[in-house]
Amino acid sequence: MPLPLFLLVEDKDSDAQAFISLVRRIGLLNGVHPVGGMDEARRYLTACSPQSLPLVVFSADAVGDGESGELFAWIDDQDAPVGDIPTVQLHKPLDMYAVIDALKALKFPERARIDATTLTVRVELWPCGTVLSDS
């Protein structure tokens, strides 16, 4: 089963790269799929198979005038499984601890992996209801 991605709605490449770096710095193994705006996010979400849907949709407060709220409302209005995707509003400057707290509040199942080369812990986050084996 492939590790689910985060969807990031961000219209500035530099800010998207800053978020991707932050996710790596936190130690998360989940990838980030950046899109440039609400319309692109909707197209992405409607085209995804249920198994490929993002774990969380993050949106930066600088994306358009109120686009984040509009996108989140659109997600909430969708049937499952799209309507069940959690959303997180990011505020700039990005705060690592705010992102960590938002993800912890969602109570995703997680699996820690130790990178034997660097002796760092890397964490995988999975959709709620996922049963993780010890392997």
pLDDT given at position 130: 87
pLDDT given at position 62: 53
pLDDT given at position 65: 54
Please report, for the chain, the start and end positions of each structural domain, with discontinuous segments joined by +. 6-108
Which H or E run includes 114?
strand 110-115
CATH architecture of 6-108: 3-Layer(aba) Sandwich (3.40)
- pLDDT per residue as tens, the chain (135 positions): 789 999 999 989 999 999 999 999 999 999 999 999 999 999 999 999 999 999 999 998 655 456 778 899 999 999 999 999 999 999 888 899 999 999 999 999 999 988 888 888 899 999 988 888 765
* Cα angle 113, 21, 76; round to 5: 85
Contact (CB, 8 A) for 91 and 15: no
Number of CB atoms found within 10 A of residue 33's CB: 16
Q: Which residues contact 60 (CB under 8 A, 6 or more apart)?
A: 8, 9, 10, 11, 15, 19, 68, 90, 92
* DSSP result, 6-36: EEEE-S-HHHHHHHHHHHHHHTB---EEEES
pLDDT given at position 109: 93
